[in-house]
Every structure is written in C-alpha cells, then in structure tokens.
Amino acid sequence: MSRPRNDTLLRALLRQPTEHTPVWLMRQAGRYLPEYNETRRRAGSFLDLCRNPQLATEVTLQPLARYDLDAAILFSDILTVPDAMGLGLYFAEGEGPKFERPLREEWEIRDLAVPDPYTSLRYVMDAVSQIRRALDNSVPLIGFSGSPFTLACYMIEGGASDDFRRVKTMLYERPDLLHHVLEVTARAVTGYLNAQIESGAQAVMIFDTWGGILSHGAYREFSLAYVERILGELKREYDGQRVPSVVFTKGGGLWLEAIAAAGCDAVGLDWTVDMGEARARVGSRVALQGNLDPMALFARPEIVAREARKVLDSYGPGPGHVFNLGHGISQFTPPENVSVLVNTVHEHSRRRGEK
C-alpha cells in the first residue's frame, strides 16, 4: 500500500527483475550541490542541519529534484548513535568529526548504554517521517547506520585516524573491552535501524567504512560478527513490505563471500572489485550495489558515460544490480556530470533489455 511508484531499487535489492538498473549515489545530498551549501548556511553548522528534520528533509530531496535518481537516502551523520550514547559529537573545522568524550577508561566503556532511538535520536525519526511524507511514494527512502566497528573506531580514537592505533591496541591487548563496546553499539544500531524502519525507511544500509583496515581474521570477529547480529534482529518486513538491507565494507572485496553470507540482501562494493567477478563469487545469494570510482565523475561527459557503461556491462544482464559509486561522491564533483551518469545508467540498462 505504501509501495513507491518507482520501486526499482527495492526490487533490484531483492534480485527481482526491473526495467532499468536503479541508481543512487552515496552522499548524493552533499556539498557538490550549491543548493545544499545554501541550506547548510541557513542551518548554521552541519550538526544543526542533521538535527533539524525540516532542513534534513529539504537537503535529502535536493538531488531528486535535479536528477532522475531511483532512491532517496536519509540525510544524517553516521555518528548520531555514539553521540546519543553521550560521547559529544562535534566537528572541528576542516578536521572532520570528533568526540568530546572518547572512550579512554575502562569505566567509561562499562558505563556505555543503549540509547532509546525515540528520545535521544527523535530528530532522526522525525526526519525519516517528514522525508517519507515529502517523497509522497515517488521513490523509496533508504535509512542507514554506521557499523558497530566503524562507530567504535571513532568512539575510541576520538575522531578520524591514520593508523587506528588506539582501537587496534585495544583489539590486540583488551579484546574483551572492544567486544563490550561492539556489543552495546550493535544493540544501539539495531534499535536505531528498527526505529528508522518503523518511521518509514523502506530499505536500510550499514556502512562499514573502516572494516577494511582490519586483518582478515579480525574483520570477521570484530566487524562482520556484529553486522550479522544486527541483520538477524532487523525488521525484515514492515507495513506489509519487505525491507531490504545492504552492507557496505569499504576495502572488503577480499571478504565478499563472508559478507554475502551475513544475512543481508545486498552487498555494496568499492571500485577495486570487478563487478562481474564479484557476481560470479556471490552467485544468486545477494544483490550487488556499486561501484564506479567517484573520481571518474571528474572526466568529461562522454568518459563518465563510458565508465558507467563499463560497470553495467561488467555486471551483465539479469537482476540484482543497484548502480552506485564505490564510495561517497566528492564535494568537488561537477553537478552536471551526475546527470550524465544517472541518465546513462537508465538508458544503457534499458537499451540492453529488461533485467
């Protein structure tokens, strides 16, 4: 009943046939769009924008007004959950996200508690509901969260890191403590994503931005195991509709089979993986999302189109492909190239015949 009129994304994520390959872009509502920068100026800071459901709705819809995208994705930050856990998120100019109270002492870790998504993260749920109303069943809305390990990286390092020394020292020296952080965070993420689904998110994505810095063995134990636990407790159906899930581990190409077996409907791929090879490796177990190099958008239009077609041709015919970039779109991207990309994906996949 609340099925979007364009439901190609939802069908592709479930490996059902579609008339064209759906396309959306990670960070599609962002700084490469002048209208985003204008709204952000009005909001004050980036966090003010995230916390204002009205303005978050406005920026979520901006790329859909410009481009023929097949999905909207909630505008928010991946660090809202640890912020709601009391760590005090802030953004230092030009330095990225930081926490006022990173996890340094054992008692701080033992004190971590799961936040109620409907109180401390109310602004996110309000944004989800408002975006759904504004979309008016045109395209589906994707909700998201960072993975427990990715959140733990920021919670323990206190911000971005070159070497992840603190979190990895804990991993090797006190795995019990890191497991405790991950366990509490996994419960928090589960509640957060389920609340997004109850508020109107029609698909959910888990961003494991930093899983790829782990060793093969540690990835399974400290990242994938918690993603798997979340997937096992997500609402797979809501309001009579299946809610597909996507897991994206940047740098996780080596572990594709393991990720595909974690219980998600689709796996996001960065551009280091060949789509066709990835498809052969996962077979019919999951859909695949990706994976154009975001830097390809800096070339002239005919090259953008050629590179987009390469990704589509590498995946080949048949269902189960959602076109995306292999990482978030760069703030320096020429906006007109995004039109070329979106239109090429639609035209080339339609021309090739139904999927």
Rule CB under 8 A: which of 134-163 touch a second copy? 163
106 touches a second copy by CB under 8 A: no
| From 11, 27, 187, 229, the catalytic residue | 27
Catalytic status, residue 300: no
| 93 lies in the binding site for a second copy (CB under 8 A) | no
What ranges make up the beta strands (E) of 217-310?
237-238, 241-242, 245-249, 266-268, 287-292
If one asks whether residue 45 binds a second copy (CB under 8 A), the answer comes out as no
Q: Which stretch binds a second copy (CB under 8 A): 7-15, 61-69, 178-186, 299-307?
A: 299-307
Closest listed residue to residue 304, CA positions, set 314, 294, 290, 316: 294
Residue 295 in contact with residue 335, Cβ under 8 Å?
A: no
Q: Which residues contact 177 (CB under 8 A, 6 or more apart)?
A: 106, 109, 170
The minimum distance between CB 170 and a second copy, in angstroms, equals: 9
Pair of tokens at residue 304: 């953008």
Q: From the candidates 154, 192, 226, 315, give the one annotated as an active-site residue.
A: 154
Residue 84 CB, shortest distance to a second copy, in Å, is 28
> In 10 A of CB 101, how many CB atoms?
14
- 277 lies in the binding site for a second copy (CB under 8 A): yes
The span from the CA of 116 to the CA of 195, in Å, is 9
Q: How far is the CB of 131 from a second copy (least distance, A)?
A: 29
- Toward a second copy, which CB reaches closer, 168 or 348? 168
40 catalytic, yes or no?
Answer: yes
Residues 13 and 71 sit within 8 Å (Cβ to Cβ)? no
For the record, the structure tokens of 103 come out as 């996890």
Write down the least CB distance from residue 299 to a second copy, Å: 4
Question: Contact between 23 and a second copy (CB under 8 A)?
Answer: no
Catalytic site residue from 68, 77, 116, 126: 77
Residue 107: which residues within 8 A CB-CB, separation 6 or more? none
Taking contact as CB under 8 A, which single stretch among the options 22-30, 37-45, 189-197, 212-220 is the one that binds a second copy? 212-220
Q: Is 274 a catalytic residue?
A: no
Closest CA to 74 of 119, 17, 26, 2: 26
104 in contact with a second copy (CB under 8 A): no
Point out which residues pair with 289 in neighbouring strands: 268, 322
Lookup result for tokens 């439901």: 7
Unique residue bearing structure tokens 């995230």: 50
Q: Is 350 assigned a catalytic role?
A: no
Q: Would you call 32 a catalytic residue per the annotation?
A: no
Nearest CB to a second copy, comparing residues 91 and 164: 164
- DSSP-assigned letters across all residues of 187-220: HHHHHHHHHHHHHT-SEEEEEETTGGGS-HHHII
Instruction: Kindly state whether residue 280 participates in binding a second copy, applying the rule CB under 8 A.
Output: no
172 binds a second copy (CB under 8 A): yes
Do β-strands 266-268 and 245-249 pair in parallel, antiparallel, or remain unpaired? parallel
Among 2, 54, 215, 284, binds a second copy (CB under 8 A): 215
Pick between residue 56 and residue 329 the one whose CB is nearest to a second copy: 329
Alpha-carbon gap, residue 147 to 155, rounded angstroms: 12
Catalytic positions are: 27, 31, 40, 77, 154
Contact footprint for a second copy (CB under 8 A): 163-165, 168-169, 171-173, 212, 214-219, 251, 253-254, 271-274, 277, 293-296, 298-300, 303, 307, 310, 326, 330, 332
